[in-house]
Amino acid sequence: MDDLRGIDINLIVVLDAILTERSLTRAGESIGLTQPAVSGAVAKLRKLLDDPLLVRNGRTFDLTPRALALQPVVSEAIIEVGRTFNLRPMFDPRTSDRQFRLTASDYALSVMTAPLLRVLEEAAPNVSVEFGSLNNIGPVDLLREDVAIASAAHGVPGKRQSLFSDSMACIVRRGHPRLKDGALDLVDLAELPYVQVAFAEHVVMFADDALEAASVRPHVARSVPGFLPVPFLVSGTDMFGFVPTRVAELYGAQLDLTVARIPLPLATLVESAFWHPSRNSDPALRWLLGILRTVAELVEFDTDVQPA
């Protein structure tokens, strides 16, 4: 281990989770990794450290003496790595030129970007934000991002703070031939072509859960990695899809769409901010979370929010 250049820094995050959870399954859940991915990382760690790290004790696992000794060292390493990625001990928003990295779903970006930039222009004129797509975030990339904004369904790891909520809506083109008094029934949902939102393989959307619970297996005509393409695909076709109500309102008139009533209960979408626990003591991050709460209030109560 004399040459550190070949060591993946993400292994530190995995090692910290293993030492904390003492379980490969729980460690994976805490950082958003699948069990095969955790197992692969553990195999590398055991080879690097020449130690099994975990030993079975009945139905549970205990840390080896070497692993116990590593716990405080690894915890401090997580903090130091966080400091390396531009964490500063003092933060003054009026004078700072800090660039934050914010990763979010297309929906969150569409409703939050414009008000966020307005608030930042007033509160921190020299602060900037680099935006990224949630579809590209890796399972442990919260160590590199400042904040990720998504629903809990995405399985994003780390600390969480709820921001705002939205109901889900079923949209079709205005004048759709299957609409009866503004409604679609279960037969319609099973037979009509469906625009499915699929953010990632492990993420099951609320609408798909509701359809499955009603034993409805729709004909998936298109699959898209976010909510914003759905209105454009549904427009002018016989397809249907599900989007947050704010998206339906933003694009309904422009694309000649209408919200169809359906005989299914749809869960409420709650968008939250996620960050790595090692950044809890970063004053800049705490400030950013406060700004995001302010922006969330604008989104929640301001009906005049425009798409970014």
Per CATH, the number for 168-267 is 3.40.190.10
Which residues have a Cβ under 8 Å from the Cβ of 89 and sit 6 or more positions away?
Answer: 283
Q: Assess contact for 189 and 261: CB atoms under 8 A.
A: no
Summarised one tens digit per residue, pLDDT across range 78-130 is: 766 665 555 455 788 999 999 999 988 889 999 999 999 999 999 999 999 99
Q: Indicate the pTM of the whole model.
A: 0.67
Q: Which CATH number fits domain 99-164+270-301: 3.40.190.10, 3.40.50.10890, 3.90.1300.10, 3.20.20.70?
A: 3.40.190.10
Q: Provide the token pair at 4.
A: 């550190």
pLDDT, mean of residues 270-282? 83
3-state secondary structure of 115: helix
Mean pLDDT for all residues in the chain: 84
CA-CA distance, 43 to 18, in Å (whole number)? Answer: 12
Q: Helices (H) and strands (E) in the chain — how many of each?
A: 10, 12
> Looking at residue 74, what is its pLDDT?
83
Q: What are the structural domain ranges in the chain?
A: 4-84, 99-164+270-301, 168-267
> Looking at residue 18, what is its pLDDT?
87
Summarised one tens digit per residue, pLDDT across range 207-231 is: 999 999 999 999 999 999 889 999 9
Q: Which of 40, 53, 52 is nearest to 8 (CA)?
A: 40
99-164+270-301 with 168-267: one CATH topology? yes
CA-CA distance, 299 to 304, in Å (whole number)? Answer: 9
| DSSP string computed for 197-251 | E-S-TTPPPHHHHHHHHTT---EEEEEESSSTHHHHHHTTSS-EEEEEHHHHHHH
CA-CA distance, 171 to 299, in Å (whole number)? Answer: 21
> Looking at residue 137, what is its pLDDT?
46
Per CATH, the number for 4-84 is 1.10.10.10
- Band of pLDDT at residue 139, cut at 50, 70 and 90: very low
> Looking at residue 84, what is its pLDDT?
59
Q: Which of 95, 214, 102, 199 is nearest to 149 (CA)?
A: 102
> Looking at residue 220, what is its pLDDT?
95
Q: Which residue has the tokens 């399954």?
A: 25
CA-CA distance, 215 to 211, in Å (whole number)? Answer: 6
Summarised one tens digit per residue, pLDDT across range 24-41 is: 888 877 776 777 888 888
CA-CA distance, 212 to 206, in Å (whole number)? Answer: 10
pLDDT, mean of residues 275-294? 87
CA-CA distance, 91 to 97, in Å (whole number)? Answer: 10
Which amino acid appears at position 10 of this protein? Answer: N
